[in-house]
Structure 1
Amino acid sequence: MSARQTARDLAMGARFAVAGGREGWTRLLLTAVGVGLGVTLLLLATAVPNALDVRHQRSEDRVDYTFATTVPPRADNTVVVADVNTTYRERDVLGRLLDPEGPRAPLPPGLTRYPAKGDMVVSPALRDLLASDDGGLLRERLPYRIVGTIGESGLVGSHELAYYAGADGLAPKINGSSVGRIHAFGDPHPTPTPSDPILVLLILVVFVALLMPVAVFIATAVRFGGERRDRRLAALRLVGSDTRMTRRIAAGEALAGAVLGLVLGAVFFLIARQAAGSVEVFDISVFPSYLNPSPALVVIVAVAVPAAAVLVTLLSLRGVVIEPLGVVRTARPTRRRLWWRLLLPLAGLAMLYPMIGQGRDNGSFNQILVVGGVLLLLVGITALLPWVVEAVVARLGSGPVAWQLAVRRLQLSSGNAARLVNGIAVAVAGAIALQMLFAGVQGDYTEQSGKDLTRAQMQIDPPKDIDLAATARRLAETRGVHGITVLASSTVGNRSRQGESTRNAGLNVGTCAALREIATLPSCRDGDAFAVRGASYDPDTPTLSKPGTKLYVEDTAAFDEQRRKDVVLTVPAGLKQARPAESPTGGDTGGFLLTPGALPAGIASMLHGTVYLSLDASVPDAKEYVRNTAARMDPRLEPFVWMESRQSTKFTSIRTGLFVGAACVLVLIGVSLLVSQLEQLRERKKLLSSLVAFGTRRRTLGLSVLWQTAVPVALGLLLASAVGLALGAVLLRMSGASLSVDWVSVLSMTGFGAAVVLGVTLLSLPPLLRLMRPDGLRTE
């Protein structure tokens, strides 16, 4: 067979699809919409790596390191930057105060000029928030006049909250932490961080698990209207077409639908790309320009989708005999064989087996084996499900009329029923495996803070030039603050800064009430001093606490070594003994405890002050009132909210990407199931009308359609749960995590899949009722 003849047959099939009248157009449109939805998600997936790279690069381009041990000299190309980040109702707000020191001072990305003192340039999202009713408390915190908008090059996302405000006189406040002098934005010497094998494994499995259902759906979409198409092809046999030519013509019809689907997919993608700029999912947003797929990946999609359409059509026609007088499909089909279907998941397990127990200590995982193994396991579901459905429905017995109608239909076309559920089964299996993997390794990326949230919920560390007592007083008067604890701390040693200390101990200063938060005191009044005995990791306090010992106080307020000074603290004769107690921050505290009356002159300014706040849970927005009070005193005061645990940002980003991708896949699956269901109903229009004409109740037919969906869905979810548990167990063993099953996640994923199918079934009831009319028997 020449390539020219093949091309001619494919072109004839495409003409039949386009010029086949209303029925041909309907099938072409259904196929194109189905393929287009899948192509849209594939293009979005190919654009994700570029979007992540752009977000990372935008974040790197605006880096302004204020942490430094030395201060660069002032010049005409330097700017003093103050970090004034804040949080508003759990949303981070990037804030910077800018004080340019010369005409060549570098501009942050996204700015065309520096704002004057009292002015600020804001992101579009922050501008909208400040103008809304929800931004009232934030407006009190940002008493600046908006004079411009940050450009796209200075933001990592379209919904990011950020601002740059003008200031002057920041140079004396340079402290090596929140205020610093720089001469350029961005990291001049970026150093690549080594990849974590477990995180790489998570990324690979997420991509395979999310894209596999899309591929399954595209393969299903090109078979829409297959039964009617085969009956039309019988007419071609009648006029002399042989079997091979007929199949090529059928492939040409599928090719036309796939090509049109590519066009619709590109249109849908451009619409989704533009809409992405106005959407924020799990605090992640992008600009439309970020979603630029790699040209090489676009070419792969453009070639693979039509090729898959042709291949799937040819494979689907192998078991169909198209004769001049009809299609031999209604005869009892040959029973499906099981042995080759089991080879796919077994081969997947064999590819993953060599990496079991590898963890992160034995280098990176073999990416080809990981992708191939997970892919074969998930593809195994699509191979096993038709056999499972056929084996089960063949044994289903009698029951109500609706049940019998459903069972008989499933027995005649179990393959179609299995194809309808393949996508949701693959998605559920992948989701279960990923949930198990995330639950198993999240402990490695989660750090418990150890803080006692019953004693305090927020913390503020004022810089040295902000009065600690005044800060505490203003915060205590703030609405929603139930109580405060103020402590100042440093370290003392037996040598000055010119000599290396061989013995060190902690020093904490506070009122008696504050000291009782970190130690058990025998008695206390202002002027007392204490030595804490028995604290963990505090071996030097007994030696240093002898009366008359000279201790050198570390100047924690001076970040520059040249500006540090020696201050001597002499251990008093009346030193009292105290026992350690668990502090609000977790653990115990040793060393020396001093009340303000026992503190020698000149030491207070050298200590690091901390204010712990206990909030009234009954006051809404108590945290925002605290942040507003701190901002009114000084924008550099940033209250920290205590949390029981902290999680790795990379791990959280991957999990967020999974949630975003899963949401998109679920939407696609829901739409695809609805399209498939409508196509199935359209195929059975005359049958439904005949049953209604003979007196079958509409309720009975509606229940039969529900049973036709429910039975394969239940079988598919059971199979998906089994494969998902097996895949999750293997991935856990590969990562070195202990094997455990999160049954709540398993049941949740299964329930989500069932809910999607139930919703689709309910949405298909109105079209079903319209089709169940006697006039549906009318033909032209």
Structure 2
Amino acid sequence: MTSTVSRPVARDSWLRDFALGLRLAVGGGRTSWARLALGTVGIGLAATVLLLFASVGTITTGVNGRLAARAANSTVISGVSPTQVLQSSTSFKTLSIDGSYLHGTGPHSPVPPGLAALPGPAEIVLSPALARLIAENPELRQRFPQRVVGEIGDAGLRGPADLVFYAGTGPLPVAGGPGLSTVVTAYSFGRPGASGLGDPTLLIVTVISSVALLIPIFIFVSVSSRIAGAQRDRRLAALRLVGAGDRQVRRIAAAESLVAAAFGLLLGTLVFLGLRQLAPRFELLGWSFFTSDVVPSVPLTVLVVLLVPVLTVGTVLFALRRVIIEPLGVVRGGKPVRRRAWWRLALIVGGIALLLAARSMPADGWLIAQVTIGASALLIGVPAIVPWLLERSVDRIHGGAPSWQLAIRRLQLDSGTPARVVSGVAVVLASAIAMQLMLLSTAIQYTTPDSSDNWVTVYSTAASASRVSDALAAVPAAKHVYPVASIAAFAGSLTYDVTVAPCATITLVLHVDHCVDGQGFLAGSAAQSAPRPGDTWRLAAAGYGVGASQTLGSFTVPSLPTVTQPVARGAGPYIVDGVVLTPALATGLPLERHTETWVDTDPAVPDATDRIATAVAPLTWQAFVSYSTSDVVNAGQSSFATVRAALLTGSVFTLFLAGISMLVLTLEQVRERRRPLAMLAAAGVPRSVLARSLLWQTAVPVVLGVVVAVGVGIAIAGLVIRLTGQALRIDWPTIGIFAAVAVALVLLVTACSLPFLRAATRLAALRTE
């Protein structure tokens, strides 16, 4: 009978305690409202970031799904008249524009997603972003001489800012277009998309940095839930005075913190929904997203909804574990239990051991998981070791100026809260340093050396080569034009070329003393000897696309003078070892040739490449313009640039969040200590001394955190780069910039706290009731 009655009584007691906590949170006057507002904003900001992180999976799935849906599938389907697809690209003022030329072989040929029907010859369909770009830049319209017949729907776009076109054309050659373009016979559109970043180094960098960016978010939630902790403890002491038990006051404190968590989650959700609606209007790092893409994963959303309140309540209860709340006051006396180092060092040692156990760059999921877990353990070890190091460091500091002594004494009394806030900064710095060093050490495989030369290459079909030369003659930026036509030649295991070029090109490349039209040469190099007269070669068209495997005839090497190609070759036209003929001597070759026209541009003319691309635009797919000395952006380089910029942006944002945490902590400490500060000011301590004490109080943990961050960041980068077989390159200027940012945060936080310090040190702060 007793147990039956006690359960409803206990349940009612819990409900009353929680109800009282809710009333104290929202009905305590302006002070409670200010505390609730600060906690709500802090937790709401963190919840917004967590919901954005929870949406990354659906964003990636949506983008990859649309990219896979528009990919041409050449798997033969019986009874289907395929669509010929020739991919093409161009650039305009550093913007990349991708597209495809389509030719349907039947009335019901497959149509790419986003199109109602295949465009006919001389017709084009543009993405909305490309249509707007053309409207804003009339000179770009000349690149697309076709008649615009519509816009591409969302299903055919990577994102709302995608610059894409589909142009109709006549039958396409099987051998493909100029350059490295090949014609794909598509029986359908859509194939499984590739997942991930492909390169395990980029994947590891992304995972490690994501972990590092999330840790300060959780720290910020913890700091926000402990705002005005001293005032809360005094209210709980008042409750103890009217008869509340020790467990009751902890339940009341938990309920009070739940209010801030609930309002924070609500605010974070509203801010997230607002940002979600604005997603199509912004382009981030070259990527854009539809509103439908930005949807948090359901499991991760549930995790966020549960994690934020649990973390908030757990932080409050953890803060009260060594606080004795008595009816006559709050007792914080007694020497705090010294922090233990073994489990903190175990995280760091375990992370290093996992990274050392990997012998090479991982190629499968298990090894990638091993490396990422090891690096993440090192990063998690940063917020674990910084409080211990700070506690041990300040215990050994004695003497100094009054402002220094005030700061050190405060840190000796309570080093945990400043260390937790600084740990967020240290984690961001460690991850940013490790990220930059890893990307710097592996960047050589994603970039090509820049050149001061101004060469542009126009790839064209043989039939349009003369039209390319005529078009370039009307471009003032094209100072010199050097056409080169090539035919692949196979002599057993050796590969040569039959090259047709005018004397101007031959003289420039082979450095011959005399050349006239009708002359030829046998060109060799240090890597391969010159061909021998009388040999018979098998010829193939241009060496590009499907035609490279088709034998188009034979060629007997004539007796010609031999020329050795220069060992050092600069930028500009390039001739492969083999037979080099002038146009007059090549008139008897009944073969189609792909032509490369090398253009030496005038650096004084702006947008020379854009002008050249506009000049050859009427040739549509038959001419392709490319920089010969610029970076060639492939999928790996695009991922590299995206990852680097994204993580830099995330690091800057999280540093900003950590700065807000430090500011909130400093202001809260000024508010809690306003009576001691006012007494010091009344006793004659200058305000400048108190201001410097706040500066040292923030600077000491930050300097210690920066030292730990630099060490951990270099260690992570060195252990991961070791797996790639490349040397670690330490960029000290970048590390110095990150450290300077942390110092700037300290100065900024101190400057923002000065007005509150001035108000706290007035004599009116000594008044009491």
Between the aligned partners of 1:190 and 1:336, the Cα distance in structure 2 is 50
Between the aligned partners of 1:563 and 1:347, the Cα distance in structure 2 is 54
The structure-2 alpha-carbon separation of the partners of 1:136 and 1:751, relative to structure 1 and needing over 3 Å to count, comes to farther
Give a deviation string over 1:161-196, Cα, whole Å, max 9, x none.
22334x45x116564345747555524577889965
Residue of structure 1 in register with 2:485 after alignment: 488
Three-state SS of the structure 2 residue aligned to 1:83 is strand
The structure-2 alpha-carbon separation of the partners of 1:601 and 1:621, relative to structure 1 and needing over 3 Å to count, comes to same
* Structure 1 residue 608: Cα displacement: 2.3
Structure 1 residues 131-280: aligned runs within 5 Å: 131-132=135-136, 135-143=137-145, 148-165=150-167, 167-168=168-169, 170-171=170-171, 175-177=175-177, 178=181, 180=183, 182=185, 184-188=187-191, 197-280=200-283
Residue of structure 1 in register with 2:710 after alignment: 721
**Residue number among 533, 536, 539 corresponding to 1:545 in the alignment:** 533
Which residue type is aligned with residue 387 of structure 1?
W
1:577 to 2:562 alignment: yes
Does structure 1 conserve the Cα–Cα contact (< 8 Å) formed by 2:557 and 2:579? no
1:319 to 2:322 alignment: yes
Residue of structure 1 in register with 2:436 after alignment: 435
Between the aligned partners of 2:56 and 2:284, the Cα distance in structure 1 is 14
Structure 1, 519-528 or 607-616: larger mean CA deviation: 519-528
Between the aligned partners of 2:99 and 2:368, the Cα distance in structure 1 is 40
Give a deviation string over 1:716-763, Cα, whole Å, max 9, x none.
211222222233333334555445533333323323333344444445
Between the aligned partners of 1:314 and 1:434, the Cα distance in structure 2 is 36
Does structure 2 conserve the Cα–Cα contact (< 8 Å) formed by 1:476 and 1:483? no
The structure-2 alpha-carbon separation of the partners of 1:113 and 1:324, relative to structure 1 and needing over 3 Å to count, comes to same
Between the aligned partners of 1:740 and 1:191, the Cα distance in structure 2 is 31
Residue of structure 2 in register with 1:289 after alignment: 292
**Residue number among 48, 62, 72 corresponding to 1:54 in the alignment:** 62
1:425 to 2:426 alignment: yes
Give a deviation string over 1:199-223, Cα, whole Å, max 9, x none.
4433332322222222222222211
Structure 1 residues 504-653: aligned runs within 5 Å: 504-536=495-527, 538=528, 541-542=530-531, 544-546=532-534, 549-556=535-542, 566-573=552-559, 575-581=560-566, 582-584=568-570, 589-603=576-590, 605-634=591-620, 636-643=622-629, 648-649=636-637, 650-653=639-642
Residue of structure 2 in register with 1:497 after alignment: none
Between the aligned partners of 2:340 and 2:493, the Cα distance in structure 1 is 78
* Structure 1 residue 462: Cα displacement: 0.2
Three-state SS of the structure 2 residue aligned to 1:669 is helix
Three-state SS of the structure 1 residue aligned to 2:255 is helix
Residue of structure 1 in register with 2:416 after alignment: 415
Does structure 2 conserve the Cα–Cα contact (< 8 Å) formed by 1:12 and 1:249? yes
* Structure 1 residue 81: Cα displacement: 4.2
Does structure 2 conserve the Cα–Cα contact (< 8 Å) formed by 1:456 and 1:612? no
Between the aligned partners of 1:703 and 1:219, the Cα distance in structure 2 is 27
Between the aligned partners of 2:17 and 2:354, the Cα distance in structure 1 is 40
Does structure 1 conserve the Cα–Cα contact (< 8 Å) formed by 2:43 and 2:268? yes
Aligned length: 753
Between the aligned partners of 1:486 and 1:692, the Cα distance in structure 2 is 84
Between the aligned partners of 1:434 and 1:172, the Cα distance in structure 2 is 46
Which residue type is aligned with residue 227 of structure 2?
F
Between the aligned partners of 2:612 and 2:680, the Cα distance in structure 1 is 70
* Structure 1 residue 531: Cα displacement: 1.1
The structure-2 alpha-carbon separation of the partners of 1:686 and 1:326, relative to structure 1 and needing over 3 Å to count, comes to same
Between the aligned partners of 2:86 and 2:115, the Cα distance in structure 1 is 17
The structure-2 alpha-carbon separation of the partners of 1:274 and 1:599, relative to structure 1 and needing over 3 Å to count, comes to same
Three-state SS of the structure 2 residue aligned to 1:15 is helix
Between the aligned partners of 2:126 and 2:405, the Cα distance in structure 1 is 66
Residue of structure 1 in register with 2:46 after alignment: 38
The structure-2 alpha-carbon separation of the partners of 1:589 and 1:562, relative to structure 1 and needing over 3 Å to count, comes to closer
Unaligned runs of 5+ in 2: 1-5
Does structure 1 conserve the Cα–Cα contact (< 8 Å) formed by 2:175 and 2:547? no
Does structure 2 conserve the Cα–Cα contact (< 8 Å) formed by 1:197 and 1:365? no
Between the aligned partners of 1:349 and 1:557, the Cα distance in structure 2 is 50
Give a deviation string over 1:220-264, Cα, whole Å, max 9, x none.
221121122112211122222333332232222222222222222
Which residue type is aligned with residue 491 of structure 1?
A
The structure-2 alpha-carbon separation of the partners of 1:736 and 1:329, relative to structure 1 and needing over 3 Å to count, comes to farther
* Structure 1 residue 266: Cα displacement: 1.3
Between the aligned partners of 1:77 and 1:88, the Cα distance in structure 2 is 35
The structure-2 alpha-carbon separation of the partners of 1:507 and 1:313, relative to structure 1 and needing over 3 Å to count, comes to same
The structure-2 alpha-carbon separation of the partners of 1:642 and 1:71, relative to structure 1 and needing over 3 Å to count, comes to farther
Between the aligned partners of 1:81 and 1:370, the Cα distance in structure 2 is 41
Does structure 2 conserve the Cα–Cα contact (< 8 Å) formed by 1:360 and 1:735? no
Which residue type is aligned with residue 235 of structure 1?
A
Residue of structure 2 in register with 1:329 after alignment: 332
Which residue type is aligned with residue 561 of structure 2?
K
Between the aligned partners of 1:260 and 1:533, the Cα distance in structure 2 is 77
Structure 1, 306-315 or 657-666: larger mean CA deviation: 657-666
The structure-2 alpha-carbon separation of the partners of 1:566 and 1:61, relative to structure 1 and needing over 3 Å to count, comes to closer
Between the aligned partners of 1:410 and 1:708, the Cα distance in structure 2 is 7
The structure-2 alpha-carbon separation of the partners of 1:183 and 1:527, relative to structure 1 and needing over 3 Å to count, comes to closer
**Residue number among 25, 30, 33 corresponding to 1:17 in the alignment:** 25
Residue of structure 2 in register with 1:498 after alignment: none
Between the aligned partners of 1:709 and 1:158, the Cα distance in structure 2 is 45
* Structure 1 residue 704: Cα displacement: 3.8
* Structure 1 residue 348: Cα displacement: 3.3
CA RMSD of aligned residues (A): 3.7
* Structure 1 residue 576: Cα displacement: 0.7
The structure-2 alpha-carbon separation of the partners of 1:455 and 1:372, relative to structure 1 and needing over 3 Å to count, comes to closer
1:359 to 2:361 alignment: yes
Unaligned runs of 5+ in 1: 495-500
1:658 to 2:647 alignment: yes
Residue of structure 2 in register with 1:299 after alignment: 302
TM-score by length of 2: 0.87
* Structure 1 residue 699: Cα displacement: 4.9
Residue of structure 1 in register with 2:3 after alignment: none
Which residue type is aligned with residue 131 of structure 2?
R
Does structure 2 conserve the Cα–Cα contact (< 8 Å) formed by 1:320 and 1:329? yes
Three-state SS of the structure 2 residue aligned to 1:171 is coil
Three-state SS of the structure 1 residue aligned to 2:489 is strand
* Structure 1 residue 504: Cα displacement: 4.5
* Structure 1 residue 71: Cα displacement: 12
Does structure 1 conserve the Cα–Cα contact (< 8 Å) formed by 2:507 and 2:515? no
Structure 1, 688-697 or 121-130: larger mean CA deviation: 688-697
Residue of structure 1 in register with 2:377 after alignment: 376
Does structure 1 conserve the Cα–Cα contact (< 8 Å) formed by 2:81 and 2:109? yes
Which residue type is aligned with residue 650 of structure 2?
G
* Structure 1 residue 298: Cα displacement: 1.0
Three-state SS of the structure 2 residue aligned to 1:85 is strand
Which residue type is aligned with residue 508 of structure 1?
T
Between the aligned partners of 1:76 and 1:352, the Cα distance in structure 2 is 53
* Structure 1 residue 290: Cα displacement: 0.9
Structure 1 residues 78-157: aligned runs within 5 Å: 78-100=82-104, 102-113=106-117, 120-132=124-136, 135-143=137-145, 148-157=150-159
Three-state SS of the structure 2 residue aligned to 1:360 is coil
Three-state SS of the structure 2 residue aligned to 1:638 is strand
* Structure 1 residue 10: Cα displacement: 4.3
* Structure 1 residue 131: Cα displacement: 3.0
